[in-house]
Amino acid sequence: AQSVTQLDSQVPVFEEAPVELRCNYSSSVSVYLFWYVQYPNQGLQLLLKYLSGSTLVKGINGFEAEFNKSQTSFHLRKPSVHISDTAEYFCAVSETGGFKTIFGAGTRLFVKA
């Protein structure tokens, strides 16, 4: 079974500052990793995913994440955030070849002017 831990429930940051949202996972098998963004009263939108290959994954809206197998982490980063990045961000994991996706508790990113 897998589990996902998002270490910060809320992250306030000023506009144009860099941000890192932390995610750790546990699994006894190989996994795929995902980051999703959710705006109020909306579904989830995929930001990026790691399936295999390069450990640095680039996604939409200027976000990137790095898969670190030894630390079982998949932290999300953006060098300069905008007000419009204010949203809930979910880290998720699924077994390779599996179907179920397990979500972390979410991190609320709040960008201040």
Partner 1 sequence: GAVVSQHPSWVICKSGTSVKIECRSLDFQATTMFWYRQFPKQSLMLMATSNEGSKATYEQGVEKDKFLINHASLTLSTLTVTSAHPEDSSFYICSARGPNYGYTFGSGTRLTVV
Does residue 36 touch partner 1 according to CB under 8 A? yes
Rg (CA), the chain: 13
Does residue 104 touch partner 1 according to CB under 8 A? yes
Residue 62 dihedral angles phi and psi, to the nearest 5°: 80, 10
In angstroms, what is the minimal distance from the CB of 80 to partner 1?
Answer: 26
Closer of 17 and 51 to partner 1 (Cβ): 51
Q: Which stretch binds partner 1 (CB under 8 A): 18-26, 44-52, 57-65, 71-79?
A: 44-52
Q: Which stretch binds partner 1 (CB under 8 A): 13-21, 56-64, 65-73, 100-108?
A: 100-108
Does residue 100 touch partner 1 according to CB under 8 A? yes
DSSP string, 55-101: SEEE-GGG-EEEEETTTTEEEEEESS--GGG-EEEEEEEEETT----
Does residue 59 touch partner 1 according to CB under 8 A? no
Task: Give the residue carrying structure tokens 């390779």.
Answer: 96
Whole-angstrom Cα distance, residue 65 to residue 91?
A: 11
Interface residues with partner 1 (CB under 8 A) are: 32, 34, 36, 41-46, 49, 51, 90, 99-106
